[in-house]
Amino acid sequence: MAEEELELDVTQSKSNKITIILLVVLIVLVIVLGGIGAWLYFSKDGDSNESAGAENESSQKVLKPLLYQTLVPEFVVNFGPGSKVRYLQVDLQVATRSEAALAVVNTYRPVLRNDILVLLSGLSFEELSERSGKEALQKKLLNVINKIVIGAMNEEKKKEGAETKESNAVVSEKTDVKGPIENVYFISFIMQ
């Protein structure tokens, strides 16, 4: 009987060792497979993000930082007789992502000043006394500036012999002009 008990303990200890070894191998196998799966999953996302980024980059240009240019000196116009205020003083700044557009703004400063002063002198206190009037003025200024900048850039391209799509377009005063100048900001807006 003692022999039977010893044989039983030996077989049980062998089966326990085999079970422990199988469990360890199974745990190691799960960890390795999980690591490989995670690596494949994350590397696939990285590759797809890179390829999607390359596709987006080819379809859309990478946005450069905004560049700002203040139009100095400030613009001063008189209001007509019978108005509550006598004059308007506006300090403007333009925003663009194109250095070429800033160069055009600097080169064509007299033309810009003329067209902006003509626009401002045609306004009344009542139009500008509310926020909506100032926002409408901001859109008009953006259109005026973009028309001049686009026209100047097209002239430069014509001199170089390149054909442009914008040069053939006819722009009326009521349509929004999409151009290199993204926005016009009021730095100061004084009515007295």
Cα–Cα distance measured from residue 105 to residue 93, given in angstroms and rounded to the nearest whole number: 11
Say whether both 74 and 166 belong to one domain: yes
Say whether both 53 and 112 belong to one domain: no
Domain that holds residue 130: 67-191
For residue 104, the model assigns a pLDDT of: 95
For residue 53, the model assigns a pLDDT of: 54
Say whether both 73 and 52 belong to one domain: no
Split the chain (192 residues) into runs of 10 and give each run's mean pLDDT.
54 76 88 86 65 55 88 91 88 95 95 95 90 95 95 88 50 71 95 91
For residue 156, the model assigns a pLDDT of: 86
Write out the two tokens for 154. 């097209």
Say whether both 116 and 143 belong to one domain: yes
Say whether both 25 and 79 belong to one domain: no
Q: In terms of pTM, does the model score above 0.75?
A: no
Say whether both 71 and 25 belong to one domain: no
Say whether both 81 and 113 belong to one domain: yes
- The CATH number of whichever domain residue 159 belongs to comes to 3.30.479
Say whether both 88 and 123 belong to one domain: yes
Work out how many domains the chain is built from and give that number.
Answer: 2
Say whether both 29 and 103 belong to one domain: no
For residue 169, the model assigns a pLDDT of: 43
The domain boundary, picked from 17, 34, 62, lies at 62
For residue 166, the model assigns a pLDDT of: 45
Cα–Cα distance measured from residue 188 to residue 192, given in angstroms and rounded to the nearest whole number: 13
Say whether both 100 and 155 belong to one domain: yes
